[in-house]
Copies of this chain bind each other. A is one copy, B any other.
Amino acid sequence: MASKKSVSDAVIKRLPRYFRYLSDLLEFGINRISSMELSKRMGITASQIRQDLNCFGGFGQQGYGYNVESLFREISTILGLDNKYQTVIIGAGHMGQALANYSNFEKRGYSLAGIFDNSPDVIGMKINGVTVADIETLEAFVKTHKVDIAMICVPYGHTRSVAEKAARCGIKGLWNFSPMDLKLNYDVIIENVHLSDSLMVLGYKLNEHISGNLPGNRQ
């Protein structure tokens, strides 16, 4: 219950990056790294790395640096990757199907428990071993399966109502793929993925680049 002071969003968003770089280091068989060396690889300052990590604990050792394996485990724990999450996909269109086939998530502890849709065209279809069920059966499903996260891949117009349905069922995490900033009057955590926003940013930078004002990211 001791409420530790909350960590800033900027730091939280960097955690998966640390996770990835440490994972790579492990693969390379490197078992010790200094903040200085890691900073060179990641393209951020050593200071920032030490500050970030010290939000969660003193994982290093003076004069030595960080043990890659133990730091990797710490970051994994912080990110909650030791936990198992049950997920469902709502919307079995192209994006839903792509997510259902994404094996990376399973590897990180996010396992796919169900897929739901409202269209008879896809209900009953099997995607990556999971049969698409009628969205009307979601509530009953959640009652028996303890679902943590709903990945929402329905068309724009259905997003809010589907998200509310999921929240009402007691699902606590929503991963929203519609181009809207989903906010609900429920006690849920929402993470928005805005692919079209990302593409527009790319387009903007491309224009800036072509119009000759700004450099690309040659390094």
Which residues of A approach B to under 8 Å, CB–CB?
1, 3-4, 6, 12-13, 15-17, 19-20, 42-43, 78-81, 83, 85, 93-95, 97-98, 101-102, 104-105, 108-110, 148-149, 172-173, 175, 179-181, 183-191, 193-210, 212-214, 216-219
Contact = CB atoms under 8 A, between A and B. Distances in A.
A179 to B, nearest CB: 6
A12 B195 contact: no
Copy total for this chain: 2
Q: Which of A79, A93, A189, A201 has the most C-beta atoms of chain B within 10 angstroms of its own C-beta? A: A189
A199 B109 CA distance: 11
Nearest to A104: B196
A12 B201 contact: yes
Nearest to A186: B218
A212 B172 CA distance: 13
B193 A209 contact: no
Nearest to A42: B181
A92 to B, nearest CB: 12
Nearest to A97: B94
A215 to B, nearest CB: 8
Contacts of A210: 172
A202 B191 contact: yes
A202 B187 contact: no
